[in-house]
Amino acid sequence: MVGLGWWVINYGDRRVVGHNGSILGFASNIIRFIDDKITVILFCNLDQVARPDAIAKEIAGYYCPALAKQVLQPPLATD
């Protein structure tokens, strides 16, 4: 589901909004774990990062171990 350019998804019972983007040589992701009050912004100097949202989820998992146990959702669309 998309709301004003943000992908609105759930990780289990947790609400998540995010957006991926990439251009030649760069990839980015912002993901907000609403219920856990965690936001991760990821900038990569590579355009071959297949799942920047997976990296962001792993980072969030360090701060909220329950997130680390959640199954990775299907990939967010990229620009």
Q: pTM to 2 decimals?
A: 0.78
CA triple 24-33-30, angle to 5 deg: 15
Burial class (CB in 10 A: 0-12, 13-18, 19+), 57: buried
pLDDT, position 9: 82
pLDDT tens profile 24-46: 888 888 999 999 999 999 998 98
> What does the pLDDT average to over 56-73?
86
What is the C-alpha to C-alpha distance for residues 79 and 58, in angstroms, rounded to an integer? 22
The structural domains of the chain, with segments of one domain joined by +, span: 2-68
Confidence of residue 59 (pLDDT cuts 50, 70, 90): very high
The candidate with the shortest Cα–Cα distance to 31, out of 45, 47, 15, is 15
